[in-house]
């Protein structure tokens, strides 16, 4: 068991009966929990060689920024569509009930750039899969995905087979 797991609050029957919501705000509000989360996520990168951390809005920013700072690497945000001021590349993807778009500044992702994608959660894998495609369409290489949590029952990892994927804490259910 990861030490950071003790800081995660599990809330039964939220947002509906039968679901256990894994709340990470309890990790963020505790200095020791936050340090553990960032350190354990950084350790999951291991000896992977890379140039930048790409963080997904918004919780990927919370963990990716301190990881990039500690490793003296660049941080590149992937945002929801319409949030970035310069020329962007975007990708649309399907959600369980609808669709969404994410984008990145086109000049931030260059051919040959090796990146680690960081987010808080592997659930169905749709957003992470879209981020991988977006980065790779611009010529970069995703060398690893690192997340704090994984909900194994949603099988999101099955969509992320193109690169090594790591989670600090994995839960069997949904």
8 A C-beta contact, residue 116 and residue 146: yes
pLDDT value of residue 95? 82
* pTM listed for this prediction: 0.96
Structure tokens at 108: 């931030």
Residues in the chain where the model's pLDDT stays below 70: 1
pLDDT value of residue 2? 82
Over residues 58-107, the pLDDT tens digits come to 999 999 999 999 999 999 999 999 999 999 999 999 987 789 999 999 99
- Per the document, the length of the chain is 174
pLDDT value of residue 1? 63
Compute φ and ψ for 87, nearest 5 degrees.
-60, 130
3-state SS track over 82-129: CCCCCCEEEEEEEECCEEEEEEEEHHHCCCCCEEEEEEEEECCCHHHH
8 A C-beta contact, residue 91 and residue 101: yes
Which residues have a catalytic role annotated? 59, 96
**Which of 130, 123, 148 has the alpha carbon at shortest distance from 37?**
148
pLDDT value of residue 106? 97
Calpha distance 152→165 (Å, rounded): 13
């Amino acid at each position: 068991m990861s030490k950071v797991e003790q800081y995660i609050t599990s809330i039964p029957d939220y947002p509906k009966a039968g679901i256990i919501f894994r709340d990470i705000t309890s990790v963020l509000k505790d200095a020791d929990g936050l340090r553990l989360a960032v350190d354990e996520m950084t350790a999951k990168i291991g000896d992977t060689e890379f140039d930048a951390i790409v963080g997904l809005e918004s919780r990927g920013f919370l963990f990716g920024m301190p990881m990039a700072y500690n490793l003296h690497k660049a941080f590149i945000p992937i945002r929801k569509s319409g949030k970035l001021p310069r020329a962007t590349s975007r990708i649309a993807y399907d959600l369980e009930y609808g669709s969404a778009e994410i984008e990145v500044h086109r000049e931030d992702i260059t051919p040959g750039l090796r990146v680690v994608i960081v987010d808080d959660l592997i659930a169905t894998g749709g957003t992470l899969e879209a981020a991988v495609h977006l980065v790779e369409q611009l010529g970069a290489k995703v060398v690893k995905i690192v997340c704090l949590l994984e909900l194994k029952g949603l099988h999101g990892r099955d969509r992320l087979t193109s690169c090594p994927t790591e989670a600090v804490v994995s839960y069997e259910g949904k």
